[in-house]
Structure 1
Amino acid sequence: MRPPERRQKVYEEYAYILDFLPYGYGFAAAPPRRRREGLRGPVAQALGEKYFMLLELAPIPGLELRVGERIPLLRDLEGQLIRVTRRLTYDELTTNARAELPEIVKRIVLQREGEFVEFFNKAEPLTTRMHSLELLPGIGKRILWKILEERKRKPFESFKEIYERVKIDPVRAVCERILEELRGGQRHYLFVKPPPRRSPPP
């Protein structure tokens, strides 16, 4: 289970609202780019359901959004009530959005349990010295070998089974790794669509 390559254009079909500002950003709270551009009107910050992309949304005036709400992101311009304006970095999230992020990540992970259990069953080495499972917090060499032995004996079928057979909390490990990737600066991305490469300043 790997996010798409950097150059592959992908879109989130659903997202969860992390914060909703019906009157837009206050000047002090606005990301620097938005201060320069003078963004006005309602704005929301959200987390994509499939690629864990942090998104800035512009809903039509009068549309109320609730924190934690799952919303569709339509690409049909005529039917759009919410427009994706751009991708955000973790540092651009509001204080409220950062506070909501761990719980929303956990909700998505639990809903996509089968996919993440399959990651434990099929994850492969990254190099001759590093296995992709070792990127999950709490998994060192001893736990790694235990996982590899157990999945060879019988593939895991649930988070509960991983916990019972390996004695680690797989939900916590996956969620913490996703949060690390959302903060950026990672060499390897297991679950989050990597941030776009920025051109160096001239």
Structure 2
Amino acid sequence: MQPGPDRQPRAGGREREHPWDSEENCRVLSQQGSGEGGGVVYCICEGGLYTIRVRARAGCGPLMPGDRLALPTEDGESEEIATILGGARYRDMPAGAQAVITDVVHDLIRDLPDKFLTFYNRAGNLSRKFHAFQLLPGIGPSKALQMVEGRGRLGWDTFEDVDESCKIDSAQLLTDRLVEELKDPQMTPSLLENVVRIPDA
């Protein structure tokens, strides 16, 4: 029997009910209430950038945007999070979460460069006339070609290498594209689905 459309296989042959089930950590976007009584916290997962709602443990105290929290797993509990309530669409998030999501994603990308440099080091042509670099805001065909030439065969080790080679703010451009996709999940081609959320990306 094949897994249903909302279920994904996980290690050991068991099915994964939600796409964020394999996530270990998340970053806070906004918190409803003081945290003394628990309350709902909007977060973004570090691995696949899934936006979720969680219920905080009573007495967790105030949580600030960008705070890193461990998610509860089958093998252990989280000090701050009692349970994951479900996914959270951008349009349904409170204004506070929407206001900080770009900054939080940018910091996350800078903190986990190996994962997100994958795009710059592996991006190729999507068609004969369109390179994946052109998905980034403000990057046209000639700039994309320049970036490919600057990458060469060895690629880049840091975002600073990309910036110096291509004269761009690589982390910010990637942030802007990914946040656009979080706002509009129908955007295609999707870097979230084709780069960020693939295994070992």
Residue in structure 1 matched with residue 188 of structure 2 by the alignment? 187
Residue in structure 1 matched with residue 27 of structure 2 by the alignment? 16
The equivalent position to 2:46 in structure 1, one of 29, 46, 49, is 49
Q: In structure 2, what is the Cα distance between the partners aligned to 1:79 and 1:147?
A: 44
Runs of 4+ aligned structure 1 residues displaced above 6 Å come to none
Could you list the per-position Cα deviations for residues 50-82 of structure 1 after superposition, in whole angstroms to 9, with x for gaps in the alignment? Answer: 111110011233322412210010223873542
Residue in structure 2 matched with residue 103 of structure 1 by the alignment? 103
Would you say the 8 A contact 1:136–1:177 is kept in 2?
yes
Q: In structure 2, what is the Cα distance between the partners aligned to 1:45 and 1:87?
A: 9
SS at match of 1:75: coil
The equivalent position to 1:73 in structure 2, one of 64, 71, 74, is 71
- Cα deviation, residue 87, structure 1: 0.5
Would you say the 8 A contact 2:29–2:44 is kept in 1?
yes
Q: CA 1:191 to 1:78, structure 2 compared with 1: closer, same or farther past 3 Å?
A: closer
Kindly report the root-mean-square deviation, in angstroms, between the aligned alpha carbons of the 2 structures: 2.6
The one-letter code of the counterpart of 2:187 is Q
Residue in structure 1 matched with residue 11 of structure 2 by the alignment? none
Structure 2 matches for 1:32-181, cutoff 5 A?
A: 42-67=39-64, 68-76=66-74, 79-80=77-78, 81-152=81-152, 154-181=154-181
**Structure 1 residues 52-61 or 15-24, which shifts more?**
15-24
- Cα deviation, residue 7, structure 1: 6.1
Could you list the per-position Cα deviations for residues 129-176 of structure 1 after superposition, in whole angstroms to 9, with x for gaps in the alignment? Answer: 322221111211011101111212542222112122111111111010
TM-score, normalised by the number of residues in structure 1: 0.76
The one-letter code of the counterpart of 2:27 is Y
Would you say the 8 A contact 1:163–1:170 is kept in 2?
yes
Q: In structure 2, what is the Cα distance between the partners aligned to 1:139 and 1:49?
A: 26
**Structure 1 residues 126-135 or 166-175, which shifts more?**
126-135
**Structure 1 residues 102-111 or 15-24, which shifts more?**
15-24
Number of paired residues?
175
Gaps of at least 5 residues in structure 1 are: 25-39, 195-202
SS at match of 2:191: coil
TM-score, normalised by the number of residues in structure 2: 0.77
SS at match of 2:119: helix
**Structure 1 residues 73-82 or 87-96, which shifts more?**
73-82
Would you say the 8 A contact 1:17–1:65 is kept in 2?
no
SS at match of 2:152: helix
